[in-house]
Structure 1
Amino acid sequence: MSATASAIPVPIVRLAHAAGLDLPAYATEHAAGMDLLAALAEPVVLEPGRRALIPTGVAFALPDGYEAQVRPRSGLALKHGVTVLNSPGTIDADYRGEVGVILINHGDQPFTVERGQRIAQLVIARYVRAAWAESAALPDSARGTGGFGSTGQFAQSSPAQETH
């Protein structure tokens, strides 16, 4: 672990069907995400356009104020068109079940997920919770109500124009 990164203790359980597989781990000293492995008994073939829930064989207990984000692996996306469908997937601090990864094949060829294959990344992150303060109006900002694709543009469009 580098001098700028800190580590928090996180209890983790390796489930029976993950026997012999490594726990999630950082591949390099400065990696933000840990690799998640497929804990499959048999390979799973993802046909183009199909999705599957792939078990990882681990469950953990995050401290309050933290979440785990399941993110795609860039190599799988680039080389095969395989990605995490609900990216990033969020694992809340109070979830105690097995971590599963929903993979989808956006490629044009079948893709086989094998036992022990690196299928996603896991990033642990702090979060804050909002305390809504209902208001009659919002303070002005330079962006205003400019929506999709509006940042960096100075002309403001009306809400009716934004939807067309």
Structure 2
Amino acid sequence: MKVKVINQSKHALPEYQTPLSAGLDLRANLEAPITLGSLERRLVGTGLYLELPTGFEAQIRPRSGLAFKHGLTVLNSPGTIDADYRGEIKVLLVNLSQDPFTIEDGERVAQMVIAKHEQITWESSESLSETERGAGGYGSTGKS
């Protein structure tokens, strides 16, 4: 699938890191490094603008290495970029560690996955079909 992109960053377009990768790594596009203190959150620009086809979204997700090693994650994970959005792609990052973390210009801060989606229409009803699980919620299918 081809996706129109405007790249106003100082960096090359995102690339898949391996032939079977689902996500493209997004890079911070910064004038100066940003330091996130413990529990601090910040929007980080990428300099990228997309035009997604109807029926697709871009999901912004954490990078596993940053999350594991430094506690840096995407706060509204996954963040959704709708097909009709034309603004800059920004990443809402939060530092969940106790230590400050500095984001440098060009650092890979998140990954973007393009996903197909459907829109629904509601069908009002007085009942739902029965299932083995029924109304069992959190933890209902795990160990007791």
TM-score (norm 1): 0.85
Q: Deviations for 1:95-145, whole angstroms, at most 9, x for unmatched residues?
A: 000000010000111000000000000000000111111101111111101
Say if 2:113 is the partner of 1:123: yes
The one-letter amino acid paired with 2:124 is E
Aligned to 1:42: 32
Equivalent pairs: percent with the same residue? 51
Aligned to 2:59: 69
Aligned to 1:11: 4
CA RMSD of the aligned region, Å?
A: 1.2
The one-letter amino acid paired with 1:115 is D
Aligned to 2:79: 89
**Whole-angstrom distance in 1 between the partners of 2:99 and 2:121:** 47
Q: Deviations for 1:12-33, whole angstroms, at most 9, x for unmatched residues?
A: 0012xx13x0111101100000
Aligned to 1:159: none
- Compare relative contact order (CA 8 Å, sep 6+) and give the higher one, 1 or 2: 2
SS in structure 2 opposite 1:86?
Answer: coil
Aligned residues between the structures: 144
Q: 1:143 aligns with which of 123, 133, 143?
A: 133
The alpha-carbon deviation at position 152 of structure 1 amounts to 4.8
**Whole-angstrom distance in 1 between the partners of 2:115 and 2:43:** 23
The alpha-carbon deviation at position 90 of structure 1 amounts to 0.3
**Whole-angstrom distance in 2 between the partners of 1:26 and 1:50:** 29
Q: 1:26 aligns with which of 16, 20, 24?
A: 16
**After the TM superposition, which segments of 4 or more aligned residues of structure 1 sit over 2 Å from their partners?**
none
**Whole-angstrom distance in 1 between the partners of 2:120 and 2:132:** 23
TM-score (norm 2): 0.97
Q: 2:99 aligns with which of 101, 109, 116?
A: 109
Q: Deviations for 1:69-114, whole angstroms, at most 9, x for unmatched residues?
A: 0000000001000000000000000000000001000011100000
- Structure 2: segments with no counterpart, 5+ residues: none
Larger radius of gyration: 1
The one-letter amino acid paired with 2:108 is R
